[in-house]
Amino acid sequence: MSALDALDERQRQAASVLRGPVAVLAGAGTGKTRVITHRIAHGVDTGAYSPARVMAVTFTAKAAGELRGRLRALGVEGVAARTFHAAALAQLNFFWPTLAGQPAPSIIDNKVRMLGQVADAIRLRPSTATLRDIASEIEWRKVSMLSIEQHATLGRSVSGVDATQLAELQRGYEALKDERNQLDFEDVLLACAGMLEAEPRVAASVHEQYRHFTVDEFQDVSPLQNRLLELWIGDRHDICVVGDASQTIYSFAGAEQRFLLEFERRHPDATVVRLETNYRSQAPILSAANALMKGRPGALELTPAREQFATEPPTVTAYDSERDEAEGIAASISAQIAEGISPADIAVLYRAHAQSAALQQALAAEGIATTVLGGTRFFSMPEVRQAILAIRAAAVAPVEQGFVPAVQRVLRELGLTEEPPAAGGAQRDGWEARRAILRLAEEAGPEATLRSFGDALMARAKDQHEPTMRTVTLSTLHAAKGLEWLHVHLAGWAEGALPISYATSFESIDEERRLAYVGVTRAARTLSLSWSRSAGRGERAPSRFLAEIGTTGRGTGILRETPPLASRGTRPR
């Protein structure tokens, strides 16, 4: 069976071109990861690629782990599927001892602490929050490839720290790092790029090692990452980039969609394939998404591939207050669960972390457990670490009652009960985590043993392949990118919240629009949007994006608005 057999016509077209520059413009839900992995597998199967000569670059360790896992499932081992930083750090650690005669510098784990020490030395007293903002500004400067002097000419200030003080802080920060022989996260990319530029033998070695490059989420590359990529490739042209300009939501961190949008101009011989068949969402949801991005640079026109279910168009509900909104969303989710929908298939997405507290409280009041993305990762939870250690320890003794009962016994000894604790606390979080491990055991197959299961859990932890928790997911729009749920509730679609209050320029409003687009395209079956008329003592208007969806949908009933709520506690009709 060919690696191309499981692909549709456009996907097959993208995966079958193995040489020369290739740009895959992949809309939300169009199967970009499938294309990436099947293209590499096809190259290996046909002998065009040697796995050890392939580098697949992405932006998160979780995404890199998913790439490795999917390639393994296709029978491909040995491909370097890494983040930009992991690939650069590996090269630094390999070449630095030869070039400098000593190990590579260590990586600092906390910019804020070091910046605080520098601030004390120059008699500044910024708050911890301000120091975090300064750290973010340093990161943006470096990935934008600006010197401290160039950055100072921009006149940017941070929370009361003016451009002159900011430059002084940065110079002190760099001097302290040099004194301690340390690098920060961005220095890893800068140092690797500098090494490749200054040392021809290093560049030649890297060019010999890696012949074929694939870059996922190419709309998110920064100038520094793009420069490093160019140095890795050298004078070759075997590069495949995959991305969607409509999902550029990290401009604040230095991402520039122009590298994707201008790829064809910079590579006139490039093969460009547009993936616009969406395998995730129902047609009314895609209509809303298309309306949001109509006329925007690089926008794709998504069309549904799935069989259409009997679903209503997305709905908009207006509430009197944020508390009403949280309670209304919780009541709607409670009704969905009562209808038989699994909590794991439901998500509530919002613009800012601060919005999660009221939602957690309202859902807990309904007895609904939640998982907040961006919180403690599954395999970092003490209950999970404890369970893995206990399962591996139990593997030493003979198992008499069978594999699944043995896992169940271990988890019961650690606190797993038949009935869950009340929602909204650490005890319930731990219970849900242990229950997820038991479900993995039940799905492990007849050949599983405690030893093999413990090893499998360790491998999942390494790849950050987290199991599905049977909880409702709460997430910011940023953290939700790349994920999907059957039923999505989008909260806080009001002016000042989405777009957020400090987004005032055309570019920043466009970034907020792309965030809205990401939120809409996370939904497969149903989509509910809501907003509140007041926040504290201030009055709010509905988000301009609601009007755009409604007015650019050519009157097709993309959205219907429910009447205002009379008072707090009233449920939406």
The three-point CA angle 273-217-193 to 5° equals: 115
DSSP state of 542: B
**What distance in Å separates the CA atoms of residue 1 and residue 31, rounded to the nearest whole number?**
20
* C-alpha radius of gyration, the chain, whole number: 25
Please indicate if the annotation marks 29 as binding a ligand. yes
Please indicate if the annotation marks 33 as binding a ligand. yes
Please indicate if the annotation marks 177 as binding a ligand. no
Please indicate if the annotation marks 204 as binding a ligand. no
Please indicate if the annotation marks 28 as binding a ligand. yes
Dihedral sign computed on CA atoms, order 543, 544, 548, 551? positive
Residue 109, Cα to own-chain centre: how many angstroms? 21
Distance in angstroms between the alpha carbons of the first and the last residue of the chain: 52
Please indicate if the annotation marks 31 as binding a ligand. yes
DSSP H helix total and E strand total for the chain: 23, 19
Q: At what angle do helices 185-198 and 223-233 cross, to 10 degrees?
A: 40
Q: Which residue is listed with tokens 């932006």?
A: 59
DSSP state of 312: P
Please indicate if the annotation marks 462 as binding a ligand. no
Taking CA atoms, 5 is separated from 34, 54, 471, in Å, by 12, 22, 35
Strand ranges of the sheet holding 22-26, from the earlier edge strand across to the other edge: 80-83, 54-58, 212-215, 239-243, 22-26, 271-275
Contact criterion met (CB below 8 Å) for 83 and 61: yes
DSSP state of 354: G
Q: At what angle do helices 111-121 and 128-143 cross, to 10 degrees?
A: 110
Q: What's the residue count for the chain?
A: 573
Contact criterion met (CB below 8 Å) for 472 and 363: yes
DSSP strand pairing (239-243 vs 212-215): parallel
3-state secondary structure of 564: coil
Binding site for ATP, by residue number, is: 26-33
Question: Known binding site: residues?
Answer: 26-33
